[in-house]
Copies of this chain bind each other. A is one copy, B any other.
Amino acid sequence: MKAYLILCLILCPAWLQAQHTPEKRVVQYVNPFIGTGAVDTNSLSGSNIPGPTTPFGFVQLSPDTRDAPDDPASGYDYNDKTIVGFSHTHLSGTGVADLFDVLLMPTQGEVKLSPGKSQVSRSGYRSTFSHQQETARPGYYQVLLQDYGINAELTATAHTGMHRYTFPASTQSHIVIDLDHSLNKKRGYWECRIIDAELKVINNHTLEGYRIITGWASLRKVYFHAEFSKPFDNVVMANGNNTPYPTTLLNGTALKAALNFSTTDKEQVLVKVALSAVSIDNAKMNMAAELPGWDFDNISRQCADNWEKELSKIKIEGTPEQKQIFYTGLYHAFTQPNNIADVNGDYQATDLTIGNAPDKVQYSTFSLWDTYRAAHPLYTLLQPERTAGFINTMIRQYKTYGYLPIWQLWGEENYCMIGNHAIPVIVDAVLKGIPGINAQDAYEAIKASSVTEHPGSPFAAWEKYGYIPEDIESQSVSISVEMAYDDWCVAQLARKLGNTADYNHFMERSAFYKNLYNVKTGFFQAKNKDGNWVTPFNPLSYGGNGGSPYTEANAWQYSWYVPQNVPGLINLMGGNKAFTAKLDTFFTLANKPGDVNGNASGFIGQYAHGNEPSHHIAYLYDYAGEPWKTQYYVSKVLNELYNNSSSGYAGNEDCGQMSAWYIFSSMGFYPVNPANGIYAIGSPILKAAAITLPNGKTFSVSVKNPGKPNIYIQSVKLNGKPYTKTYITQNDIISGGRLEFIMGTKPNKSWGITPAGVPPVWGYNN
């Protein structure tokens, strides 16, 4: 104990020690309203939710301002003026909506359960609200429902939501339960439909039920068990537009109930709702395990404590705004993937059977096209145990489904976006030695996912042509360059496991990106089966999610994606000078066609920080001898494209990726290749950061003269020694140590430009 204290006094900066006191809890810096709404028509909502959730928890209990959420996918828009209720599951930060299960809403007066078709008209129990009477912090949300004078407070455990409603006096107080609330049933890309639902009154303070729903996730079974602190006098229910009537049981597809009470002034009614994807009995078991009592404040405190534990793994010094952005980002990154297994490990598998996870966790919501880039590398640093859980979930999915997740929701594949980016996630984790993953099982899964054709992955064509022909599969350029990267990852694990034949084969495939490089234009361009370039070609022209060679991007943005071999890309483009000159143009060419994709935003020239294809590009100057330009553009993004408003992200937060970019970059480094253990150095903006590693060691960053206008690195020390490489390695971090930057207003063009200082293709594991 004494030795530890001395060690700490020696190794830990004074500010870090100070953070141990309660008033310095980092959780205070989380502002759940960041990312909840665009401030003007030129910005995007992060599509985040303001309501409470536990780290990686099943339940996200949050207000919905939309009857039939669609865009923003969170169901809550900071610009909206009314709230329809509080539903228990949400996606935070995605571009597509789903979940919104078991909506509760307290009301008073006449209650209209069936005000017409619920998907088209204003709900009969909606209330106006004001941000002046709304609070959100980790583990707590509060809003005054102005139409009724009801104060609503929310908190959550992993599998339960807890509500505390403070009513005015009335003989007509109600709590509405709406099982029909869902993503927009009319949205075109998929067809949401409730297949079956049930509401059942168990006794005068208990309600149970379920709904079976098909939507973005192909089939979800959502069971709940709800208890009320005050017995209700009676219950009316309705199915669809039927007239509500008193009953204790209703089966149907569009179920709502109103539980009716008499309340005295300021009377509090508490409700706790446990969920399960398996059965009502399991929902009940989840409640018994996590929320047997009624102490709302204690549950809220526990939830905040859980967040403090997770978020304080990194302690930072910086401006108040930086702390808000940083810790809210970490909060968003740790909101998902979500453990949808019950407390006993039961979960719904991809084939819709019920499995039991030996480690009691089965994760859902893998937005992998986004998160493999930086969010998962962040998890490997701070959440190794959960990383093993993520990967074991993925391997279980492979075992029933035949290949790894692409975009997984509620245990099911929705084939959103492109690539097979579970592969870099798994390879990175195995190569980093994350415990609890069977490397052979992992390799079997990633290899099968690289040879078994499935939607978006025409491997036979890939092998035959050396590229994906656009006339076989649209989005062919984006798929080709990302598939080449995934193949490189497969090769690395093959090598690690001594499988030379596979290593050679997948390394060969990993170079296929070259086959789509058009030396005449200097861009990756689509070819057809006949080998001819697809014409006409306009590098500014945007693609969406099909119908163009580029995915939510243009040729400018997709011509930088060779993270497995940046030197190879530089070579293709004519060497360092030509490469950096092209990057210069990229960051300054303002022209945009009329059809910029809705996901593209946060522009610096053609760079679009609001969507993932751009995320690594500012760091590429590091590889070509002009690291000060990396420093310039990284600091520009950090300072201009993040803020602590409701529009704090340049685009959808994307399940932690947008945040992870900030978290890494604000500390000064970023995993350009998320599976090679190399972090390119950018431009730190924090004054200091200290990462408490799972092995107990600390990796700290300190910055002299941080912040604008001191955006340029003057010099760096690693563990007290001058350091001139433009990268650090995973080993540098996990060994613990000190990275010290001295910043200034002018570039130090002699720093980081020797060939040995440039980030290598393959790093610590080489």
Contacts and interface: CB of A to CB of B under 8 A. Distances in A.
A142 interface: no
A245 interface: yes
Nearest to A196: B218
What bracket does the count of chain A residues touching chain B fall in? 35 or more
Contact of A453 (B218, B245, B455): B245
A343 B346 CA distance: 23
A229 to B, nearest CB: 25
Ranked nearest first, the 7 interchain pairs of A and B with the lowest CB-CB distance are: A249-B402, A279-B353, A196-B218, A195-B218, A195-B219, A249-B452, A195-B214
Contacts of A402: 198, 200, 249, 251
A401 interface: yes
A221 B352 CA distance: 8
Interface string A382-410: 00000000000000000001110000000
Contacts of A250: 454
A214 B279 CA distance: 20
A741 interface: no
A64 interface: no
Contacts of A212: 218-219, 352
Interface of A: 191, 193, 195-196, 198, 200, 210, 212, 214, 218-219, 221, 223, 245, 247-252, 278-280, 351-354, 401-403, 412-413, 452-455, 460
A354 B351 contact: no
A219 B196 contact: yes
A248 B198 CA distance: 39
Nearest to A209: B351
Contacts of A218: 195-196, 212
A455 B250 CA distance: 9
A198 B351 contact: yes
A740 B455 CA distance: 71
Contacts of A454: 249-251
A22 B380 CA distance: 74
Contacts of A351: 196, 198, 210, 223, 279-280
A424 B218 CA distance: 39
B195 A452 contact: no
A240 to B, nearest CB: 11
B354 A354 contact: yes
Contact of A452 (B214, B223, B247, B401): B247
A403 B252 CA distance: 13
A737 B223 CA distance: 55
Contacts of A200: 402
